[in-house]
Structure 1
Amino acid sequence: MTVPPPERPTSTTDHAADLSPAPGDLGLVVSGTRLLTTPDGGLPRVGELPAETGWVPLGTLDGVPTWATETADPSRAATQRAGGRWRSWRALAAELPEPVATLAGRAVAVVTWRRTHRWCGACRAALADVPGQTARRCPDCGLYVPLRLSPAVLAAITRPGRSGGPTELLLVRHASGPTELWALVAGFVEAGESLETAVRREVTEEVSVDLDTIDYFGSQPWAISGPGVLLAGFTATVADPDAEPVVDGQELVRARWFPVDALPAELPPAYSISRWLIDAVAARG
């Protein structure tokens, strides 16, 4: 079993100095949560794409400047890019190396944020880009609007095995989203909470279990849940080894303990931090 390390390599996000891309730069064309790929499933170069406006710098990948733009006419972009096709970020993340998948997710997040943050929320004036930053500022009242992150937590909760058996891991099924998967307890961090406090609250609310130890595992940007979502993963142990989960009936529909040597097949995808946590617990078990 291969367990990815908690810290994953990622592309840099320093903004390019130039305000227009070169033909050899990577060009990520976004439509909703889909990206345009080359015939072999990779990311195209700017020179291979139809003329686009509104390129936004994303940073560099292996020293190559990268840019993103949103198209209002996906059929035109795909037609002019011979053999190109649209792929969801979820599909790309399952196939591309991790730094490239992260870059694709960043493109979706930045483009979505720009589309949904065009006007000042205080005085309704049109926002202007802040040079060198993923941020906008109101020219009338000065309101500063960066791309804010939405932190969320998830926890791999364990307890000692029954009668000396292997460690057991708590897995849940959600009422919405990928309902066929056995996943981890997760939720967004609320105002005034630390990450650890959010873990304890979410676990108490969703499965009515009290936790003993909580240890940080790693983090991952997550484009599926919306722009700016950052997942923070933790491992945790229950305070009462005999505790049984009771689902809230709203966000979760099922919860049960699984021996780590007999986990179900319906687990989160291999590119997700949820799966990294599950695999790490199983490897230790």
Structure 2
Amino acid sequence: MTAAAGRAGFVPGADRSRPPAPGDLALPVAGRKLLTGPDGRFHRIDALPAGLDWVPLGTLDGTPAWAAEAAEAETLPGRWRGWRGVAAELPEPMATLAGRALAVVTWRRTHRWCGACRTELADVPGETARRCPGCDLTVFLPLSVAVLVAITRPGRAGGPDEVLLVRHAYGPTQLWALVAGFVEAGESLEAAAHREVAEEVGLTIGRPTYVDSQPWAMSGPGTLLAGFTATVSDPAAEPVVDARELTDARWFPVDALPAELPPAYSISRWLIDTVAASAPR
């Protein structure tokens, strides 16, 4: 057993030094869906038919996990589910593993050929990477980073602090969420937070404070969300919605938040709960 295999939680890896064992975790992927067993949890390798091309994902509480591309029409036991459903019902390490399965299988399907000389790529032993045997180009699983910002201001007339919540023009449009956006090349996380706030709601903020991060399979393969809190520079300023990415933006007292908030498994909700719990009442 490797050192990583003995660690608790989910540890990503690409160890192919041994084939899948019967008791290893198995995550078939079809498009944007994963196959779970009748109990809603992941299958074991020996519960599925032979012939699937298993790719290593890492370990979950020391147990190796594998993914394989499959067709939803295939006769396999269990049911196909989107990542959102898996994340809502299973513990966090399992949701992270499911997200990695989606990312790795999607990346392998879309990165089969060399973009420079069109030769078929080959796996790099021990890494989540593929290399061209013709020109030696190496392609790694891409990582896209996005920032989320929970913006607060002091409450008015001695009331509770307020947090800025927005409704997006895409995705779950009924939810009140946070200002968010992807980091550009050459940009720091903090700079991205300032830019996204200015672009989406026309506000300026003080220095953002990092809180937490979360892999997020809903936004595509290899997406990582970095969460920040920040205080608005001018407490009297009101948001001006960009009308392109957002449809609404409002200040809400932390003790009177709307019911339509992001799900509990999301970092957006973690940040909202953090500012609500830490604000003076």
Alignment of 1:1-285 (within 5 A): 10-71=9-70, 73-78=71-76, 81=77, 84-285=78-279
Superposed CA deviations along residues 5-48 of structure 1, whole A, max 9, x for unmatched, are: xxxx8401133343420111001001111111111101000000
TM-aligned CA distance change 1:10 to 1:169, over 3 Å: farther
Question: Within 1, Cα distance between the matches of 2:16 and 2:98?
Answer: 21
Cross-structure match for 2:4: none
TM-score by length of structure 1 reads 0.93
Alpha-carbon distance in 2 for matches of 1:191, 1:17:
33
Contact 2:16–2:125 (8 Å) recurs in 1: no
Percent of aligned positions with the same letter in both sequences? Answer: 69
Tell whether the 8 Å contact from 2:149 to 2:180 is kept in structure 1 after alignment: yes
Conserved 8 A contact 1:11-1:99: yes
Amino acid in structure 1 at the alignment position of 2:13: D
Residue by residue over 1:33-71, the C-alpha shift from the partner in whole angstroms, topping out at 9 and shown as x without a partner, is 111111110100000001133210011111111000010
**Aligned-partner Cα distance in 1 for 2:256–2:120:** 56
> Is contact 1:50–1:77 with CA below 8 Å preserved after alignment?
no
Instruction: Give SS of 1:206's match.
Output: helix
Kindly report the root-mean-square deviation, in angstroms, between the aligned alpha carbons of the 2 structures.
Answer: 1.1
| Whole-angstrom CA distance in 2 between matches of 1:52 and 1:279 | 46
Name the TM-score, length of structure 2 as normaliser.
0.94
Q: Where does the alignment leave 5 or more consecutive residues of structure 1 unmatched? A: 1-8
Q: Deviating runs (4+, > 6 A) in structure 1?
A: none
- Give the C-alpha shift of residue 135 in structure 1: 0.4
- Tell me the distance in 2 between the aligned counterparts of 1:10 and 1:240: 42
- Looking at structure 1, the residues matched to 19 and 51 of structure 2 have their Cα atoms a distance apart, in angstroms, of 11
AA aligned opposite 1:75: A
Contact 1:189–1:198 (8 Å) recurs in 2 = yes
The answer as to whether partners of 1:129 and 1:135 remain within 8 angstroms in 2 is yes
CA distance in 1, matches of 2:24, 2:15: 11
